[in-house]
Amino acid sequence: QSVLTQPPSASGTPGQRVTISCSGSSSNIGSNIVNWYQQVPGTAPKLLMYSNNQRPSGVPDRFSGSKSGTSASLAISGLQSEDEADYYCAAWDDSLNGWLFGGGTKLTVL
């Protein structure tokens, strides 16, 4: 069971804004950066957001990230059908001395 907690599913219609949450603790999100990964089923994960709110080159500015205390969130505005994928948050955990991934959120574009 993941120590980073994400909602298993989220949905929205094209053009809407959707937010995905990631809840952790003081040993992970509370003291380390958060990254987000996007995975289209059957393909490899792709880095979507790093250092809480930094977008890699090529990621549209419709995607934004934030962190507050022991929680983080990923927001997607202007939802598009191509955004349908699984989204994972990740953070280093000082107690486990390893990386943690959230359980993943399956985003459906209705």
Give the interface with other proteins as residue ranges (CB under 8 A): 2, 32-33, 35, 37, 39, 43-47, 50-51, 54, 56, 86, 88, 90, 92, 96-104
Q: To the nearest whole angstrom, how small is the minimum distance from the Cβ of residue 8 to other proteins? A: 10
Report how far Cα 27 is from the mean position of its chain's Cα atoms.
18
Minimum distance of other proteins from residue 15's CB (angstroms): 28
Measured CA to CA in angstroms, residue 74 lies from 78, 95, 96, 98 at distances of: 13, 25, 24, 22
Q: Which residues pair with 98 in a beta bridge?
A: 93
Which is nearer to other proteins, 84 or 101 (by Cβ)? 101
